[in-house]
Amino acid sequence: MTQNIVFSEKALELRAKAREIADKYVRPAAAKHDKAQEYNHEAAKAVAEAGLFRTFVPEEYGGYGAGVLALSCVAEELAKADSGFGVAFAVNALGSFPIILGGTEEQKKEWLPKIAAGEKFVAFCLSEKFAGSDASGLSVSATLEGDEYVIRGEKKWTTNGGVADYYSVFCVTDSTSKSRRISAIMVEKGTPGFTVKKVEDKMGIRCVPVVETHFDGVRVPKSNLIGGRAGVGFKHAMMTLDYARPGVAAQAVGASQGALDLANVYANRRKQFGVPISNHQMVQYMLANMAMKTEASRQLVYAAAAAIDEVGPSPANSKRAAMAKCFATDVAMEVATDAVQVFGGYGFMEDYPIAKFFRDAKILSIYEGTNQIQRMVIARHLIREAGELEHLQEFIPTEVQESYEPDSVPQA
C-alpha cells in the first residue's frame, strides 16, 4: 500500500522554526556540550519558546496536534545539527505518547499542557538491566496499598533522566498474569524514594543524559496509573514505540544528512593530485550512495509518519514504523562511516564534527528496539500477510502447499 505524503502548513512552519533554532543554538554549541556531557538548556529554552514541544500534543491540551509527520520534520532538522539534541527533543514525545494514547481525560488535562509549553520535560522508563529487547520481562514492581502505588526496583538507560520532570514508568502490577502483567505509572521528579543514580558515560549523544532511575518504595497516588486501569501497560508501550519509531528514524535521516553535507563540502575543498577529491570517481561513488540512501530513508520515514497520522495504530503501521526505523538507522551508520572515510585522517580526529556524527550514529540502531528486533517485527507481519496472497498459490509446488500454517507465526 502506497502512502500519500501531505505536509500541512503547520508542519512546514515548525520545520522552518526547527531549522532556525538548529542553526542558531544547536550546531554552534554541539561540540562544547558533547565534550562536557552537558544538556543544552539554551537550545531547549529556544525550542519551548518557538512552540516546538506543542508539535506532538493534541490541540485540546495546549498543543498544535500537528502529528507524527510534523514531529519527524522537527526531529530531523534538530538532529542534522546535533544528533544528541535531536534525541533530547524527541524523547519528550516518547515519554508523552503513553499519556496521549492511553491516559484518562483528567491525566491529559493535568500533564500535557505543561509538556506542550515546555515547562515540564518527560522521560520514558521501560528498559531494565535484564529486560531490554524483551519488554515483557520487566521486574520493577508496583504494589497497590490503599490509594497509593508503591514502586520498587530500578530502570536502566533512562534518556533525559535528571533533566525530566515527569517519568512514564512501566512496572509489574500483577505478577500472576501473562497478558495483564504490566502497567504504566507517572512518577514526578522529587517524589521521595525516586532517585537518579548512575549517569552513563556514553560513546555518543553525550549532551543528553542517560541514567539509572531507582525506585525505593516510591509512593504515588493511584490516580497516576496511566489510563486509570491496571494491566494495559504493555499495550501502551507497544503503541508508544510504533508512534515514536518514525521520530527515531527521522533523527537518523537528520544525522545522515548532516554527515553527508559535511562530507560534500569537504570533498569539494580538499585537494589531492592537484584537484578536489570530489573529482575522483571513488569519492563521487561514495557521495552518490550516501545521498541516495539518505533520500530513500527520508521518504520511508515520511510515509510511515503520514500513515500513522492518517490511520493511527494498526498492524500495517507497526510494520511501516519498524521498516522506517530499521532502514534509516542502518543508513545513518553507513553514511557516517563513509563520511569519516571521505575526511580521511581528519575524520578520525575529534577536532572535527564528523567524528561526533560517527559516534552518535551507533545508538540509533540500538535504542527504541534494536534493528534485529525491527527485522523480526517486519518478518512477523510479512508471514501473516502471506495468508492474504492465496492468488499466488497456483505458482507454489503442490507438495508444499498444505504445509503452510499461518497460526504458527513466530513472535518477536
Read off the pLDDT of residues 236-295 as tens digits, 9 standing for 90 and up: 999 999 999 999 999 999 999 999 999 999 999 999 999 999 999 999 999 999 999 999
Decide: 40 and 208 in contact? Cβ < 8 Å.
Answer: no
The whole-number average pLDDT for the span 113-126 is 97
Strands 275-276 and 271-272: antiparallel
The whole-number average pLDDT for the span 167-174 is 97
**Lowest mean pLDDT: which of 230-234, 339-343, 344-348, 401-405?**
401-405
**Lowest mean pLDDT: which of 123-127, 320-324, 378-382, 393-397?**
393-397
Q: pLDDT for 30-42, tens place per residue?
A: 999 999 999 999 9
pLDDT of residue 403: 58
DSSP state letter for 371: H
Structural domains in the chain, sorted by start:
9-121 (1.10.540.10), 124-231 (2.40.110.10), 234-387 (1.20.140.10)
Decide: 363 and 265 in contact? Cβ < 8 Å.
Answer: no
pLDDT beyond 70 at 411: no
Q: Which three cell numbers stand for residue 392?
A: 499466488
Compute φ and ψ for 25, nearest 5 degrees: -115, -25
Decide: 179 and 230 in contact? Cβ < 8 Å.
Answer: no
CB atoms under 10 Å from CB of 63, counted, come to 21
Q: pTM of the entire structure?
A: 0.93
pLDDT of residue 144: 96
When pLDDT is cut at 50, 70 and 90, the band that residue 412 belongs to is very low
Q: Is 368 in the active site?
A: yes
Which listed residue (9, 13, 368, 405) is catalytic? 368
Q: pLDDT for 326-381, tens place per residue?
A: 999 999 999 999 999 999 999 999 999 999 999 999 999 999 999 999 999 999 99
pLDDT of residue 134: 81
Alpha-carbon separation of residue 96 from 104, 166, 256, 361 (angstroms): 13, 9, 26, 24
When pLDDT is cut at 50, 70 and 90, the band that residue 179 belongs to is confident
